Amino acid sequence: MLELRIERLAYDRTVVEGIGASVAPGDHICLLGPSGIGKTTLLNAIAGLVPWLPAGAVIGRDRIRLAYLFQEHRLLPWRTVRQNIRLVGASDETVDRLLADVGLADHAESLPDQLSLGMARRAALARCLAIEPDLLLMDEPFASLDADRAGELRELIRALLASRPDRAMICVTHDPADAAALANRLWYLDGAPATLRWDERINGVDEVGILLDRLRGVVLA
Ligand SMILES: Nc1ncnc2c1ncn2[C@@H]1O[C@H](COP(=O)(O)OP(=O)(O)OP(=O)(O)O)[C@@H](O)[C@H]1O
């Protein structure tokens, strides 16, 4: 689906370098790493939001549909939830179905400012799904939510991923619980400049625990 050959991502200094990896349909990747290491920068590069990245750094993106759930909801504040989702080309019927899926059936005509943080994030997720993405990128989708809301949203995303097995996902997170719930592959970004120190396929919560123990070994080594 995607081939990453990213030599360098730099602002005033090089943040990330030497990323070589491929992403296949059905990959559910959690991208972990210390704060400020470059996870969002890498996700942005994958999304095509780093304009100076040379052609050939991310191969295959032009052949897939991609949606990005940003940390902020990025809904247009002067449009209703329905209008925001219709902007990506969804019919009213699709909007209603997706809003029901994310538990916002009663909020189609609300403005984003009338929603709580968690509700706005679910509305943004519905907009992502309206794109029918082959690859769903998410940047800390559970950040700033209380444990109950985060758990609900995690469960919702897990169910949505299960409903279309060939869809791929890359989710930036700090929380190993997200990896346990959502991932079948873990990436760990670390170093200065940062690179993928770790790229492991996983399968099941026990294995996540074992891998995270090994990962702690890598981090502490
Ligand atoms: N637009 C920018 N201009 C200059 N430096 C930036 C910019 N965006 C990010 N950086 C720097 O690049 C580094 C990586 O930032 P990035 O947001 O990608 O890290 P992260 O791993 O996603 O962090 P966090 O886990 O805290 O969200 C940081 O040192 C950050 O200060």
Whether residue 135 contacts residue 167, with contact meaning beta carbons closer than 8 Å, is answered with: yes
Q: Is the pTM of this model over 0.90?
A: yes
**Pure H helices in 29-146:** 39-47, 81-86, 92-101, 117-130
ipTM above threshold 0.95? yes
Before 193, cis peptide (omega within 30)? Answer: yes
Q: pLDDT grade, residue 211 (50/70/90)?
A: confident
Predicted confidence (pLDDT) at residue 188 exceeds the cutoff of 90 = yes
- Domain assignment of residue 205, given as a range: 2-64+134-220
Mean pLDDT throughout 60-70?
A: 96
The CATH number of the domain where 214 resides is what? 3.40.50.300
pLDDT, tens digit, for every residue of 7-58?
Answer: 999 999 999 999 999 999 999 999 999 999 999 999 999 999 998 899 899 9
For 188, the 3-state DSSP assignment is strand
pLDDT, tens digit, for every residue of 70-123?
Answer: 999 999 999 999 999 999 999 999 999 999 999 999 999 999 999 999 999 999
Whether residue 81 contacts residue 99, with contact meaning beta carbons closer than 8 Å, is answered with: yes
CA of 10 to the centre of ligand 1 (A): 10
Report CA-CA distances (Å) from 148 to 102, 106, 155.
Answer: 15, 21, 11
d(CA 44, CA 27): 18
Q: Are residues 206 and 162 in the same domain?
A: yes
Q: Give, in degrees to the nearest 5, the angle at Cα 211 between 210 and 213.
A: 65
Instruction: Fill in the amino acid letter for 39.
Output: K
The response to whether residue 40 sits with its C-beta less than 6 Å from ligand 1 reads yes
Q: Are residues 122 and 142 in the same domain?
A: no
d(CA 112, CA 124): 10
At 51, phi and psi to the nearest 5? Answer: -65, -30
Q: Are residues 111 and 31 in the same domain?
A: no
**Would residue 69 count as lying in a domain?**
no
Q: Are residues 95 and 140 in the same domain?
A: no
Tally the domains of the chain.
2
Report CA-CA distances (Å) from 98 to 92, 93, 166.
Answer: 10, 9, 19
**Would residue 94 count as lying in a domain?**
yes
- The per-residue pLDDT for 36 is 94
**Would residue 70 count as lying in a domain?**
no
d(CA 205, CA 80): 39
CA of 35 to the centre of ligand 1 (A): 8
Predicted confidence (pLDDT) at residue 203 exceeds the cutoff of 90 = no
The response to whether residue 20 sits with its C-beta less than 6 Å from ligand 1 reads no
**Across 80-84, 120-124, 173-177, 193-197, least confident range:** 173-177
Q: Are residues 97 and 144 in the same domain?
A: no
The response to whether residue 38 sits with its C-beta less than 6 Å from ligand 1 reads yes
Q: Strand 185-190 vs strand 58-59: parallel, antiparallel, or unpaired? A: unpaired
Report CA-CA distances (Å) from 174 to 32, 37, 94, 183.
Answer: 6, 12, 32, 13
Q: Are residues 12 and 79 in the same domain?
A: no
Predicted confidence (pLDDT) at residue 166 exceeds the cutoff of 90 = yes
